[in-house]
Amino acid sequence: MKNFFFVIYLLISTFLTGQNCYKVVADLTGFPTSEYESILEPLACSLINEMPTEFQNQFKVYHFGFYSQNEFMQGGFQAAWQIAINDAKSTTPYYLLFGRQNEDSKGNSRIWVEISLPSTGNFSCLSDVISTIKYRVENAVNTYYNSHKSPFEYSNAEKEGIVKLQSIVVDIKNCCQPGNRNICSQCEAESISDYMVASGFDEFSINLEQPVFGQNLTFQNSVVNDISNRRVLVGGNSILLGEYLNSFVNELNANVDLGLIVTSNLNFCQLHTRELEALSNHKYNIWFHLDENENNYSISKEKIKIISQDDTAFDQGINFALTSFVYQKLNLTGITFSTENDLSSEISDFFANVYGGIDPVTPQNIADNLWNYQPKIDMSKAPESSPKNSLGVQRNGRWFFKERLTMQDKSMWSQENIIRIQNNEAPRVDQTWLLKNPNHIEFEFKKDASGNILYENGQPVRQKLIHHHIDHGKKCVAIPEGAHTQYSKYIHYLTKNEKNFTKAQKLAAIRQKISNLNQGMALCGLFLNVTGFLTGDPGNIINWFGPAKINQLKYDPESKFYTLFYNEAIFEKAPKSGFHKGWKRFAWFKAFVDYAWDEEINKFVGIGIGFEGYVFTTEDKKTKLVITDCFIEDHQDCIEFNKTRG
């Protein structure tokens, strides 16, 4: 490992001898550099020429291309990046450094950015602005790159970054001259906004009262730190924003170590980011920033971010769940996300820990047990004539298995399965397969609905192997047919509609579900998850807690039953007497112990009825559930019910 980094160091050090404006530190991406150097060199020189004269010989633009294997070496990409930064520093004290990263093992690619600018002379009065410039340039670079997602656009993305930095330098370089300071803002709104967006904040619009100038208004307790000097109108009363937000943050804080930070342009530049984040020592912190428009204080482009002490998939899942809860509470509109939020199953794990009663099976656990160790076939290379799956990727089982046979390691295949594949037949879960895939043992044989092994000519019938598209994507693996059916609700959580939905559309759908929530139709509380919310799969978390629909199964994590509401009635006016006195709405339901996909009617259906009854809401918005029959003698709910019924 150290030898490799020493080689990298030598490669990086080779750039020290030149005097050009744009220098290639080292590029191990595999893409030629000579073509774009001639384009970026004059742009870099133009940037340098805009620097104050005393700094022009101390500034250069550098380029570094990561080696793909950096990801798996000690320190990962960050270690290699730090070497490039250190060498840039040793050459010129001030610099703009780009790092090109091709797709990693998770399919992510990006352009890294590091900037060092003077803090003396013409830049001495702009330390707060300088701290945000990196994020503004990085945002310009990766906004361009992400809109093209091609390694052939790396140079154009770097061009965007150079041009962006030059425009910033032109704007600020004379601000610290005596007599000019009154025309320069030390913390411009654009600078703050770019910093926030590049840092992962989500933006929305909200109506607020005019800021209170000349007063040091704060609201602080163990959970909330509000230093925004802003009030909101709640029920006709003017209260501090933090005081208002405190009510529902405390509601969450009962189960999550959550804090709240509220800032505005008025105070943001007086505090460095580290100081702001240090305002709260909670595990998770919601950070609101009020980005006021100086010409219209009533409409403010607010920004929100969840800061967590760790950045695991689990934390990212909780971050989104908390953010969604905040959006719901504030009834926000026009929300867009800075990152895709196709949530992982860690949210389910989190709510299982907090509230209990949630199936511990997760997509990650299934993947680890069934296929993560297998070689993966790229289905985008299958014949174009192949049928397509829901996301437009080639779906061709015969081609997939024959492609597997072209691999050098054929130890998973028995001679019988090789013959089957060559004859365009599906391979079976046989003993050779199980030796390499021991976690497939429960799917060795076909079984009936009662779990009994099926026989044919006196022999147990082995399950077929099928090809499975991971997350509906181009990477494909082989799994037993029974596993595909049993875990369908976990491994098929993206639909074509969801994939094509814009971020705003996803949030709009969530808001619509929340606004339509009818407590008479819900058997439990409300928590949020966008994953698979349009599939109708009762195993999906938003379908657990969102509004129930007539003739669509809905999971209740408290009772662990799958509930089907099959008939409803809505009273235009609540009856004043009789059995239905005061009722506004009621619905009949059946609760099942499990569910499955019925291919004949093309929908999910309940299996094994547990109990049935009805729920109703009254005109004073109270809800009651009534069980009319219970069918599982040893279930605690049925025991209590039968005792009551006598």
The fraction of the chain above a pLDDT of 70, given in percent, is 52
**DSSP letter for each residue of 123-165:** GTT-HHHHHHHHHHHHHHHHHHHHHH--GGGHHHHHHHHHHHH
Q: What residues have CB less than 8 Å from 170, skipping those under 6 apart?
A: 50
pLDDT in tens, 12-31: 333 333 448 998 877 766 66
The yes-or-no verdict on residue 641 having pLDDT over 90 is no
Q: What does the block give as tokens for 598? A: 């019925």
Indicate the helix (H) or strand (E) that contains 513: helix 503-515
- Which phi and psi (to 5°) does residue 541 adopt? -65, -35
pLDDT score of 289: 76
Strands (E), 420-531: 455-456, 459-460, 465-469, 475-480
- What is the per-residue pLDDT across 565-590, written as a single tens digit (0 to 9) for each? 777 777 777 788 777 788 877 778 88
Q: What angle do CA 412, 418, 423 make, to 5 degrees?
A: 150
Helix (H, G, I), strand (E, B) or coil at 183: helix
Kindly report the average pLDDT of the chain as a whole number: 67
Q: CB count, 10 Å around CB of 498?
A: 21
Least confident among 66-80, 139-153, 350-364, 537-551: 350-364
Contact assessment for residue 304 and residue 201, using Cβ atoms and an 8 Å cutoff: yes
The CA distance from 478 to 618, in Å, is: 53
Helices 127-148 and 189-198 meet at what angle, rounded to 10?
50
Per-position DSSP letters for 16-83, written without gaps between them: GG---SEEEEEE-SSS--HHHHHHHHHHHHHHHHHS-GGGGGGEEEEEEE--GGGGGSTTHHHHHHHH
Residue 605's pLDDT band (boundaries 50, 70, 90)? confident
pTM over 0.85: no
> What's the pLDDT at 62?
92
pLDDT band at 493 (very low <50, low <70, confident <90, very high): very low
What whole-number distance in Å separates Cα of residue 231 and Cα of residue 244?
Answer: 9
The 10s digit of each residue's pLDDT in 191-220 is 666 666 656 666 655 555 555 544 556 777
Ordered by where they begin, the domains of the chain are 2-192 (3.10.310), 195-355 (no CATH), 363-486 (no CATH), 510-645 (no CATH)
Q: What percent of the chain has pLDDT over 90?
A: 10
Q: Determine the Cα–Cα distance for residues 87 and 62; give it in Å rounded to an integer.
A: 10
